[in-house]
Structure 1
């Protein structure tokens, strides 16, 4: 089994803190798939404080015999995104992606070519923007050996001939325990710990320190499955912010999520946030 990409290191812990929470937002998302194999995702959100409404539409079509995936995205900021992916055809384990973005209102265009190669003990990413003025090149690699993960990520601005990102990560993974530590540009340090405590209970710890601002962050969170259709989530950080979430599958294809963020330092003054999300899938 190939190691994860650099961006997916520590993903299990991030999911404990991120999934199932929609603070300050009313959200609706609908998913469906046509007989022709076209996957459609449409959704919208309403920011409770500002009243701003945002929407998005995504279509995805896969041609499995040729290893092709064609994806189109549009949002209410009037940004069009097109992605063409080719997987396991040029070489086994190699995925090539051409991504383009177009803003009709301003005429701004951008494009990037991305590649991912996965083998038994290593995963490599190499991306480049398609910019004649000097592309920005991103590279990353994660190696796996006896449950240990070692990762490196870099970014190089060819226009300025300057290294703009220089990150390292070390991790350990097992069936029920995942450790992830990182150092970003010699200024940001941190790590996360994920533990599958039991079949129904997951826990995670996240901590970090910034050398520039000399600030420390610490968070602890958990997810507990009440049954096969319902789960509760809770998290708290060193700023006394408490997040709570409840997710219920009402029926097949219909899931309701309720969440709230409580500011413990200003409990009586208010300013707490609530969120609601409804996911429909057919």
Structure 2
């Protein structure tokens, strides 16, 4: 596929007359729109599905392009999923560099679900360098009829956290979460009110720090048009009366290609490229630079799927730091991850790190 097909979704070898002649109704298109609505999966959890409507707002079967049937008569203005939230811009490339690696730790994660529908997650991490062992436990219960989700968390730092979330009940696409934490030993308490809204064109999320001395308001928005993405993120400290964050991002994203650039506070610049080369190979490129510094961090990473249950991960940057990972699904619900970080500039000096992680879930 050429770069023109990536950026514009058009095969430059096909003439306009050939395009129109490929439809049964020349130059006349039936308008079909898509919507994402909440639904219940077979296991009882809350999910989402796509529905299609005609120009009169009536629900119809979604067209399937390329099946050779009557559905090929439809075109899709706005036939795209909702844009990612600002924090998820560049996520595809970031996953290539972060997933499949656990340097310098021994980690065990366990997930299970009770018959009543309560989900339990626990994890323990041992840091080889500091010797510190960190553990966490959380439970999650969903009241599907009311769109509510309750989450309780505890960790070995003796911090308790409670999250209450309501989704798609106040308005379609709107999610509201109230978070609270409490540390019994110190008496420290925090609270946050989070909201997020997404449709086919825009994704907006806000975080309000419930600090009576002066809350911090964080707002981010991402606009999407034909695969192009433009986002902004700002944070205002009401106690100090100033903006503490002004970030901007721009990119382009399809199912198998993603380009992302960002500027944070006018001095930190970054960019990434993600390419799904084939069903087995994912590649990523990442770059970071700070104004006033001659030091640029550049990295290349890749993931190679050996089969449905095993994958290899590798990455390297311009400082000769090499990361290697191997992930194997031993059996359904049991995944083993082995990883190693190698300092190529000081290979004989040591300081290399290894990591082992087990993930268990039903």
Instruction: Give the TM-score range, shorter chain.
Output: over 0.9
Question: Which string of whole-angstrom CA distances, capped at 9 and with x for unpartnered residues, describes residues 88-137 of structure 1?
Answer: 00111110000011111100001010100112200111111111111000
Question: Which string of whole-angstrom CA distances, capped at 9 and with x for unpartnered residues, describes residues 209-250 of structure 1?
Answer: 101444210010000000001000000011100000000000
Give 1:39 deviation, angstroms: 0.6
* In the alignment, structure 1 residue 205 sits paired with structure 2 residue 303: no
Question: What is the alpha-carbon distance in structure 2 between the residues aligned to residue 160 and residue 259 of structure 1?
Answer: 44
Partner of 2:236: 156
| Alpha-carbon spacing, 1:79–1:170, altered in 2? closer, same or farther (3 Å) | same
Residue-pair matches, total: 282
Partner of 2:249: 169
Question: What is the alpha-carbon distance in structure 1 between the residues aligned to residue 149 and residue 165 of structure 2?
Answer: 5
Quick one: which of 104, 113, 118 aligns to 1:33?
113
Equivalent positions of 1:85-96 (< 5 A) are 85-96=165-176
* In the alignment, structure 1 residue 10 sits paired with structure 2 residue 113: no
Question: Which string of whole-angstrom CA distances, capped at 9 and with x for unpartnered residues, describes residues 75-94 of structure 1?
Answer: 10111111100000011111
**Pairwise CA RMSD:** 0.8
Runs of 5+ unmatched residues, structure 1? none
Quick one: which of 224, 228, 235 aligns to 2:308?
228
Quick one: which of 43, 47, 55 aligns to 2:123?
43
Quick one: which of 176, 192, 196 aligns to 1:116?
196
Question: Which string of whole-angstrom CA distances, capped at 9 and with x for unpartnered residues, describes residues 29-85 of structure 1?
Answer: 110011111110111011112221110001111111110111111110111111100
Question: What is the alpha-carbon distance in structure 1 between the residues aligned to residue 138 and residue 302 of structure 2?
Answer: 31
Partner of 1:107: 187
Partner of 1:66: 146
Question: What is the alpha-carbon distance in structure 2 between the residues aligned to residue 91 and residue 230 of structure 1?
Answer: 41
- TM-score w.r.t. the length of structure 2 is 0.77
Give 1:165 deviation, angstroms: 0.3
Question: What is the alpha-carbon distance in structure 1 between the residues aligned to residue 188 and residue 350 of structure 2?
Answer: 42
Quick one: which of 320, 326, 347 aligns to 1:246?
326
Q: Secondary structure at 1:140's aligned position in 2? A: strand
Question: What is the alpha-carbon distance in structure 1 between the residues aligned to residue 264 and residue 284 of structure 2?
Answer: 21
Q: Secondary structure at 2:93's aligned position in 1? A: helix
Tell me which protein shows more strand as a share of its residues: 1
Which segments of structure 1 move beyond 6 Å, counting only runs of 4 or more? none
Partner of 1:218: 298
Partner of 2:269: 189
Q: Secondary structure at 2:165's aligned position in 1? A: strand
Question: What is the alpha-carbon distance in structure 2 between the residues aligned to residue 80 and residue 24 of structure 1?
Answer: 27
Q: Secondary structure at 1:21's aligned position in 2? A: coil
Question: What is the alpha-carbon distance in structure 2 between the residues aligned to residue 134 and residue 45 of structure 1?
Answer: 35
Runs of 5+ unmatched residues, structure 2? 1-80
**Max radius of gyration: which structure?**
2
Q: Could you say which structure has the greater relative contact order, defined with CA pairs below 8 angstroms and 6 or more residues apart?
A: 1
